[in-house]
Amino acid sequence: MIELRLGRMSPAEIERLRAFDAEHIWHPYAPMPAAVPAEPVVSAEGVRLTLADGTELIDGMSSWWAAIHGYNHPALNAAVTGQLGKMAHVMFGGLTHPPAVRLAERLIELTPEPLNKIFFADSGSVAVEVAIKMALQYWRSQGRPERHRLLTVRGGYHGDTFGDMAVCDPVNGMHQIFSDVLARHLFAPPPPLGYLAEPDEAYLAELKSLVEKHSGELAGIILEPIVQGAGGMRFYAPEYLRALRELADEHGILLILDEIATGFGRTGELWGCDHAEIAPDIMCLGKAMTGGYLTMAATLCTDEVAHGITSGEAGVLMHGPTYMANPLAAAVATASIDLLLSRDWRDEVDTIEAVLTSGLEAAREFPGVADVRVLGAIGVIEAREAVDVEAVQKLAMDHGIWLRPFGKLVYTMPPYICTEDELNHIADALYAIAETL
Q: Catalytic residue numbers? A: 29, 157, 258, 287
**Counting contacts by CB under 6 A, is residue 224 touching ligand PLP?**
yes
Closest distance of CB 408 from ligand PLP, Å: 18
Site for ligand PLP in 289-318 (CB under 6 A): 297
- Residue 64 or 112: the one with the smaller Cβ distance to ligand PLP is 64
* Number of other CB atoms surrounding residue 284 within 10 Å: 31
The whole-angstrom separation of Cα 233 and Cα 243 is 21
Cα–Cα nearest to 409, from 372, 435, 376, 375: 372
Q: Are 95 and 296 within 8 A, CB to CB?
A: no
- DSSP label of 417: T
| Residue number closest to ligand PLP, CB atom | 124
The whole-angstrom separation of Cα 422 and Cα 415 is 10
Q: How far apart are the first and last CA of the chain?
A: 41
H or E element in which residue 16 lies: helix 11-24
**Counting contacts by CB under 6 A, is residue 173 touching ligand PLP?**
no
Q: Are 240 and 191 within 8 A, CB to CB?
A: yes
Closest distance of CB 303 from ligand PLP, Å: 24
**Counting contacts by CB under 6 A, is residue 286 touching ligand PLP?**
yes
For ligand PLP, the binding residue among 97, 154, 158, 275 (CB under 6 A) is 158
**Counting contacts by CB under 6 A, is residue 157 touching ligand PLP?**
yes
For ligand PLP, the binding residue among 21, 59, 258, 281 (CB under 6 A) is 258
Q: Determine the interface stretch with ligand PLP among 13-21, 50-58, 154-162, 195-203 (rule: CB under 6 A).
A: 154-162
- Residue 262 or 302: the one with the smaller Cβ distance to ligand PLP is 262
- Residue 193 or 204: the one with the smaller Cβ distance to ligand PLP is 193
**Counting contacts by CB under 6 A, is residue 159 touching ligand PLP?**
yes
| Amino acid type, 394 | K
Q: How many residues bind ligand PLP (CB under 6 A)?
A: 16
The whole-angstrom separation of Cα 280 and Cα 244 is 10
**Counting contacts by CB under 6 A, is residue 230 touching ligand PLP?**
yes
Q: Are 422 and 353 within 8 A, CB to CB?
A: no
- Which residues are bridge partners to 372 per DSSP? 381
Q: Could you give the 3-state DSSP secondary structure of residue 332?
A: helix
3-state percent breakdown (helix, strand, coil) of the chain, nearest 5? 40, 15, 40
Closest distance of CB 230 from ligand PLP, Å: 6
Burial class (CB in 10 A: 0-12, 13-18, 19+), 142: middle
- Residue 230 or 433: the one with the smaller Cβ distance to ligand PLP is 230
- Residue 3 or 29: the one with the smaller Cβ distance to ligand PLP is 29
- Residue 258 or 353: the one with the smaller Cβ distance to ligand PLP is 258
Closest distance of CB 394 from ligand PLP, Å: 25
Burial class (CB in 10 A: 0-12, 13-18, 19+), 307: middle
Q: Determine the interface stretch with ligand PLP among 81-89, 224-232, 308-316, 410-418 (rule: CB under 6 A).
A: 224-232
The whole-angstrom separation of Cα 152 and Cα 224 is 9
Site for ligand PLP in 85-144 (CB under 6 A): 123-125, 128
Site for ligand PLP, rule CB under 6 A? 123-125, 128, 157-159, 224, 229-230, 258, 260-261, 286-287, 297
